[in-house]
Structure 1
């Protein structure tokens, strides 16, 4: 195994892999417009179900978690680069997060499930822990991964474990979104996404424990950067075994919640906890397999250009994807089940990869990455 490959290479490739998996998921779910076309033959419906179940098993809740982990790694690399020059990166990082929030708001116009804006806000959690020792950072991250608010809901449900709960609040917002996705003009979609859609997305993130899980993964990524883990294949071999063993019971309880043997009021918060843990465990499986293969299978570097242009790639896929599926554009939500939507996603991913290769042969960074970099270091003579 060649461990001399720069850890930046594997991080770029892994980020590109996450971008592609996000692209495929977003396409089969029509960019959060869940709609099953009618009149499809039975065999195609069966194929669609297999594709849907397989992609969500592999990437649902895991791709964004890979992104969060790498967000923390990138923060460490930037922080460390300034630290060795005797500079404090934290104030500049805060400004960088404000800029990311602006990109996220723009992206949210097109796709209300945008993660950039959420990462931008939760990224501030890295600033107070940047100078803490590894042990304290790990303790804080693990406490967040435990999903403290969901456990509080478990305690609240104990007196009446069989109480029937109302639907999660986010459902009403997503229900309203379906109407303007199907029939609204582009302006109505953009306005709806920035108001109704964004509130629904934030509520959904809260209801599903994402607002605790994301900063925890940021911190774990920072620790991985500090320890140089992306240059340590032995660590990832061990991580693969441990995470695979942990995933099995979590997945069984998530898939067959009746095994919990509790009432509905207790089951909901427990499933939030278990699903969060299952997703993190399988995310580590994916990262471990990718890192180990990367050092042996150099063809995985085909993902690197996408990873180097991840901001551009993420925003562009929102613009193009919603124009393909929503009613103001081609309205393809009416005709594409998971099979055809997956084919569209693969074509778009290949096109993005080729564009990234072409662009990076002529420029050091992607278009939006260049803007982000220049604005980050605005007014500074010492640019990284």
Structure 2
């Protein structure tokens, strides 16, 4: 009986609104990551100017930095915290300890390492797994304390940024220096166009440099103090999951409306100023500090505003439209990893090498095309199978046995 209580979540237990929101978050992450894959994140100014549609680069960059960057990975973090609350409730009902949860995180960490070393350095799974372990320490923390901790964790990076820009203390510098030495040892001169290295090298050449890219990723995460930001959103998600605030009910509607008004009403203008500073600050330490501080203030507000607005709209006539990517959300791990694979094959020397061909204005239509294919594939797959391929592997490794994969056909009895 206890084994049944701790079995993987069945489709009938899922909150479809969370699947749908996770699907839209997946689309946002794809768009943000494509800024790098398309070549813009590495290209020199002449290369950017030579790309198709380059005349719209400034407008596209402003909109992406304003409305997309950071907001959707924060939504993912929020949903991770909600999922933790659900898993924790199920473990407590079964009387089981945290061992299975920790095993689940360990396997996620392995997925993250494979993503980092085999595809690209922008992985978030490994960090999620590490911060998920830290989240376990807050399982008995009261609701008010969770919010205080979340606020403090988003303020810590502001102090961290002040140390960097006004005291000259930057712990990311030695890591960045080690990465630069690794690139130099590999014959890569980053004073030349980094885009040529990223988009032109074939897969084996890229693979040889992935350990060095991982150092670059660690330096970036350290500079941003990203672990604190991720854990902060985890804690808000845990609070939301405990209170069941991912559904608009008469009891929750007032709080959701206030969250949407504050999140969008304050977050949008602050994020706009931050986006402008991001594009214009240059090497000015005061302006870069202001940009990074405004990021820390606006990003969680906008993520919460998006989530609250989505939840309120879900109860109205927009549910069918909003629920369109729910199948992709149910296969989030599979789709997240396949996004990196698709972009690698499209934009780098491992495939079609289309990096630096398109300007930022093409990010939206290319994102829409890739994501539409992912949604269609996810619907097709889930009409036949219980889990996505990545999810099946993750669950099977977590539970120590192969999980039933194929859905029962009419007249058949599902596998036990």
Q: Which runs of 5+ in 1 are unaligned?
A: none
Pick one of 221, 237, 246 that aligns with 2:237.
221
* Cα 1:273–1:187 shift into 2, 3 Å: same
Residue 192 (structure 2) pairs with residue 185 (structure 1): no
Q: Do structure 1's residue 338 and structure 2's residue 360 form an aligned pair?
A: yes
Partner residue in 1 for 2:138: 129
Partner of 2:413: none
C-alpha distance in 1, partners of 2:122/2:271? Answer: 25
Structure 1 Cα separation of the partners of residues 298 and 158 of structure 2: 15
Alpha-carbon deviation of 1:164? 12
Alignment of 1:292-303 (within 5 A): 292-296=312-316, 297-299=318-320, 300-303=322-325
Matched, 1:69 2:78: yes
Equivalent residue runs for 1:51-130 within 5 Å: 51-88=60-97, 90-108=98-116, 109-130=118-139
Q: Name the CA shift for 1:321/1:311 in 2 (closer, same or farther; >3 Å).
A: same
Task: Output one character per residue of 1:218-245: Cα deviation in whole Å (capped at 9) or x when no partner.
Answer: 1110110001111233322110112233
**Equivalent residue number for residue 19 of structure 1:** 26
**TM-score of the pair, normalised by structure 2:** 0.79
Q: Quick one: which of 369, 372, 376 aligns to 1:347?
A: 369
C-alpha RMSD of matched pairs (Å):
3.2
Change beyond 3 A, Cα 1:157–1:330: closer
- For 2:150 and 2:25, how far apart are their aligned partners in 1? 22
SS at match of 1:292: helix
Structure 1 residue 372: Cα displacement: 0.6
Partner residue, 2:223:
207
**Candidates 291, 302, 327, aligned match of 1:282:** 302
Range 65-74 or range 44-53, more displaced: 44-53
CA displacement 1:53-112 (0-9 Å, x = unmatched): 223321111110000110111111111112122222x22111111100111112222121
Q: Is the 8 A contact 1:247 1:278 kept in 2?
A: yes
Corresponding residue number in structure 2 for 1:242: 262
Rate the CA distance shift 1:343–1:28 in 2: closer, same or farther, 3 A: farther
Do residues 368 (structure 1) and 377 (structure 2) align?
no
Q: CA deviation at 1:345?
A: 2.0
For residues 98 and 200 of structure 1, the distance between their equivalents in structure 2, rounded to whole angstroms, comes to: 23
8 Å CA contact 2:24, 2:325 repeated in 1:
yes
Question: Separation in 1 of the partners of 2:361 and 2:402?
Answer: 50
Paired with 1:364 and 1:23, the residues of 2 have a C-alpha distance of: 24
1:183 Cα deviation after fit:
3.2
**Secondary structure, aligned partner of 2:324:** helix
Q: Contact between 1:19 and 1:314, CA under 8 Å: does it hold in 2? A: yes
Among 156, 159, 177, which residue is 1:151 paired with?
Answer: 159
Give TM-score, length-normalised by structure 1.
Answer: 0.85
CA separation of 1:313 and 1:157: change in aligned 2, threshold 3 A: closer
**1:242-294 C-alpha deviation (Å, 9 max, x unpaired):** 22333256336535669xxxx95455445323212111111122112222222
How big is the shift at 1:129?
A: 0.8
Give the alignment of 1:323-334 within 5 angstroms.
323-334=345-356
Given candidates 163, 188, 196, the residue that maps to 2:212 is: 196
Change (3 A) 1:24 1:150: closer
Aligned equivalents of 1:170 and 1:375: distance in 2? Answer: 35
